[in-house]
Structure 1
Amino acid sequence: MSAHAGTPSPFRQPKAVWAVAFACVISFMGIGLVDPILPALSSRLHATPSQVSLLFTSYLVVTAVAMLVTGFVSSRIGAKRTLVAGLAIIVVFSALAGASGSIGGIVGFRADWGLGNALFIATSLAVIVGSASGGFAGAIILYETALGVGIAVGPLLGGELGGISWRGPFFGVAALMAIALIATLALVQPTPAPARRASLLDPLKALRHRGLLTMGLMALCYNWGFFTVLGYSPYPMELGTHELGYVFTGWGLLVAVFSVFVAPRLQARLGTARALYLNLALFALDILVIGLFTSSRTTLIAAVILAGAFIGVNNTITTQAVMTVAPVERSVASAAYGFVRFIGGGLAPYAAGRLAEHYDVHVPFYVGAAAVLVGLAVLSTGHSLLADAERAQAAEAALHTPAENREERLERDALAEDVGSAS
């Protein structure tokens, strides 16, 4: 019998989990949806690339800070109401961003959109992990699938809608999030507030745990590289809205494929620590190639699309490690981690625009590559903590492995020990 026979599929889930996963897809579409229209916004609204990049900065910095209050809110009104509140905020402010006529107005409405995004993202991960069948690893794979699909579809839809009008992507998010809101209201059961009410300081206190802080700082540096590529590379490509949509759809498809299919295999083969070290080193090299060959459109496009592979691997492996590396509730760990990592993602696009304006288009990517290498160095200081997280994940997986598979594995391990002793 195969070692994987009888293992529950991560895609066999209750309707409520699918409703939240669908909302996750739409939420993550919002990350890449505006990418194809960045140059058009710069041209139509007479704004510099660094000013337009504030769409990312306002959105992600507010998301980061708001992460600190998500546990406080959900522990008082329950997970479902928190999800609904987050979705409703996104619907309202994405529509207002589409109706705005100035870059300042769009940036402001994107900031409010970030508040809804924080309430939704932190709570949705906790709901999926808590409600999904098939165990923790299966829930993370489902969550990362939603992330990958959203990131893949977002630029394609953004390119098509942006080809009609730069306002189209914002109204598209509002319409799709309204559908997700209705599905959540209909399919997700009301959840009682937890017995213990979370404090506003819980996420900050959680960062006192070395493992969580190490993963958060690594992710801050990694996200600096990630959002430098996402937020600034459309400008040197000098492509039309549709063409940019196709490029970032290819990028997003690699995020989806590598997060769902490649990352678990790479982690199983190399272990959590070595898989992350290798992936971060390759990602830094890829960003360096973007910086060196920014003037070559073909090389630039290929390297940007390839970046999706490294982002997909990092997202899946890191999310699992974060959820097991700190001895705190998973919702608190998610909020603390999100607070730190989104700071890097929020600051990077604006910094990239300013660096390009003061130096040249190559410098932002050199800085992005260096930031990822710093993240790798930070991660290496917590090597033993990653090993602990890996053991915790293995224990979690064993609980959801059918009995016959566990017996097979024990027999295999015993035989391997006997062979090792004989040799």
Structure 2
Amino acid sequence: MSSHRDSSSAPTAGPFQQPKAVWAVAFACVISFMGIGLVDPILASLRTQLHASPSQVELLFTSYLVVTAVAMLVTGWVSSRLGAKRTLIAGLILIVVFAALAGSSGSIDGIVGFRAGWGLGNALFIATSLAVIVGSASGGFTGAIILYETALGVGIALGPLLGGELGSISWRGPFYGVSVLMAIALIATVVLLPPTPRPARRESITEPIKALRHRSLATTSVVGLLYNWGFFTLLGYSPFLMGISSPQKLGLVFCAWGVLVAIFAVWGAPWLKARFGTARTLYGNFGLMALDLAAIGVWPDRPAVVITAVIVAGAFIGVNNTLVTTAVMSIAPVERSVASATYGFVRFIGGGLAPFAAGKLVEHYNAHVPFLIGAAVVVVAALVLSTVHRALAAADRGEVHQPERDDLDRAERELPVAAGLGSAD
């Protein structure tokens, strides 16, 4: 992310000395990113109490991420017409409503459907939140990025803890908990965030799809899809192999995973990039991630191996989230807002389909198969990445020209969507 920071604006205040409006949005960001690992601690409970098959439970990831992916194609179109604050509020309202509906549902199909609505709200929210923070934060763009990355890391680490604690009371608890917390964030955003102007240019709804005509963007987007296939195979199905029935203990495992994601995304990735370069760091990262998945594939019946592999994978995921996002933003020959939407769409499709496929493969074969396939897919991601090696090296040297952007805030707002997520994931 460092390549997008505005070096010309020297910070006048620390990143954590911010107006109330910024803290309101940052709090909402933490809750939003908590949704990435929220359901992991309750997957086993949902499977038992709702009499669901593994593939049915995995649809909780698929519906959420696939809808998020598709919605990424229209968030620019929406926000360029409504303005950032209204788009942010619309996303928060959808999350509050659909998280509560998921908690009140009595069937796995109902939860899956409401998670899809949750994914739509999440796409609108995370596509706009950084732009709002950048526009309102003191200390310039650098301070805003630090604050945003901190919110992302805290959310990823706390999500499994919240899911575990509330899930120990009832599987409905995590859903209701997110709804209540997001309602608080919504009120704070409405009251504390001043109105934001609409962008000068209205974005076309077809721009993110048309951008796939560019080889560098299409290639890095495919790399994101392949890597996320391995990542969400691990995140989605590994809880069933850990031999842990307590949601609280599962929450601790994924909290440790989330802490490593945050540490390596914020500090590890920049250090490795400076030392080895983007391409070589990612080749090594993909190789290690493939070995990590292969370890689970070989020993899925050994809970200690699975737990250790999941926690360690946080380091690889953190490095990948930062460096692949930076690569996409650096070498794509289109506006960064469009590149980010395109990349987010493609990569989240892979993340959404992988857990469902893992459940089906286990049902038809065994637990070895999805993880060994995931390892192979991550190796293919490294091979695909090698086809843009020269462009990545040029970007590291600062030689890649980026098109001028019509609206800086709009261009930067979607950057973390590709990262995360997250985001957001």
Smaller-chain TM-score bracket = 0.7 to 0.9
Q: Superposition pairs for residues 12-411 of structure 1, below 5 Å?
A: 13-128=18-133, 139-240=144-245, 241-392=247-398
Name the CA distance, whole Å, in 2 between partners of 1:209 and 1:125. 26
Name the CA distance, whole Å, in 1 between partners of 2:18 and 2:209. 33
Shift of the alpha carbon at 1:128?
Answer: 4.1
- Contact 1:232-1:352 within 8 A present in 2 as well: yes
- Contact 2:87-2:124 within 8 A present in 1 as well: yes
- Contact 1:259-1:316 within 8 A present in 2 as well: yes
Larger radius of gyration: 1
Q: Secondary structure at the match of 2:174?
A: helix
Q: Structure 1 unaligned runs (5+)? A: 397-423
Q: In 2 relative to 1, CA 347–295 (structure 1 residues): closer, same or farther, beyond 3 Å?
A: same
What do residues 211-263 of structure 1 show as CA deviations (whole Å, max 9, x unaligned)?
Answer: 22222111111111111111000001121212111111111111111111211
Range that drifts further, 321-330 or 194-203? 321-330
Q: In 2 relative to 1, CA 56–105 (structure 1 residues): closer, same or farther, beyond 3 Å?
A: same
- Contact 2:59-2:355 within 8 A present in 1 as well: yes
Q: In 2 relative to 1, CA 153–90 (structure 1 residues): closer, same or farther, beyond 3 Å?
A: same
Q: Secondary structure at the match of 1:200?
A: coil
Count of aligned pairs between the two proteins: 392
Name the CA distance, whole Å, in 2 between partners of 1:277 and 1:202. 30
Name the CA distance, whole Å, in 1 between partners of 2:399 and 2:51. 50
Name the CA distance, whole Å, in 2 between partners of 1:13 and 1:327. 34
Q: In 2 relative to 1, CA 239–317 (structure 1 residues): closer, same or farther, beyond 3 Å?
A: same
Which one-letter code corresponds to 1:42 in the other structure?
R
What do residues 254-307 of structure 1 show as CA deviations (whole Å, max 9, x unaligned)?
Answer: 111111121111111112221212111111111111111211111111111000
Which one-letter code corresponds to 1:333 in the other structure?
A
Q: Secondary structure at the match of 1:181?
A: helix
Q: Structure 2 unaligned runs (5+)? A: 1-6, 403-425
Name the CA distance, whole Å, in 1 between partners of 2:105 and 2:121. 19
> What TM-score do the two structures reach when normalised by structure 1?
0.87
- Contact 2:36-2:156 within 8 A present in 1 as well: yes
Shift of the alpha carbon at 1:130?
Answer: 5.6
Shift of the alpha carbon at 1:67?
Answer: 0.7
Which one-letter code corresponds to 1:364 in the other structure?
P
**Structure 2 equivalent of residue 415 of structure 1:** none
Which one-letter code corresponds to 2:368 in the other structure?
H
Shift of the alpha carbon at 1:360?
Answer: 0.6
Range that drifts further, 380-389 or 338-347? 380-389
Name the CA distance, whole Å, in 1 between partners of 2:59 and 2:242. 20
- Contact 2:331-2:400 within 8 A present in 1 as well: no
- Contact 1:123-1:331 within 8 A present in 2 as well: no
Shift of the alpha carbon at 1:319?
Answer: 2.3
Name the CA distance, whole Å, in 2 between partners of 1:189 and 1:314. 35
Q: Secondary structure at the match of 2:37?
A: helix
What do residues 351-394 of structure 1 show as CA deviations (whole Å, max 9, x unaligned)?
Answer: 00001111111111111111111111111111122234334499
Shift of the alpha carbon at 1:60?
Answer: 0.5
Name the CA distance, whole Å, in 1 between partners of 2:253 and 2:282. 26
Q: Secondary structure at the match of 1:65?
A: helix
Name the CA distance, whole Å, in 1 between partners of 2:361 and 2:164. 27
How much identity, in percent, do the aligned residues show?
A: 71
Which one-letter code corresponds to 1:207 in the other structure?
L
Which one-letter code corresponds to 1:124 in the other structure?
S
What do residues 172-197 of structure 1 show as CA deviations (whole Å, max 9, x unaligned)?
Answer: 11011112212322333322211211
Which one-letter code corresponds to 2:114 in the other structure?
F
**Structure 2 equivalent of residue 405 of structure 1:** none
Name the CA distance, whole Å, in 1 between partners of 2:151 and 2:395. 23
Q: Secondary structure at the match of 1:27?
A: helix
Q: Secondary structure at the match of 1:31?
A: coil
Q: CA RMSD in A?
A: 2.3
Q: In 2 relative to 1, CA 146–12 (structure 1 residues): closer, same or farther, beyond 3 Å?
A: same
Shift of the alpha carbon at 1:170?
Answer: 0.2
Q: In 2 relative to 1, CA 199–44 (structure 1 residues): closer, same or farther, beyond 3 Å?
A: same
Name the CA distance, whole Å, in 1 between partners of 2:32 and 2:219. 27
- Contact 1:122-1:334 within 8 A present in 2 as well: no
Shift of the alpha carbon at 1:126?
Answer: 3.9
- Contact 2:27-2:151 within 8 A present in 1 as well: yes
Q: In 2 relative to 1, CA 317–186 (structure 1 residues): closer, same or farther, beyond 3 Å?
A: farther
- Contact 2:279-2:392 within 8 A present in 1 as well: yes
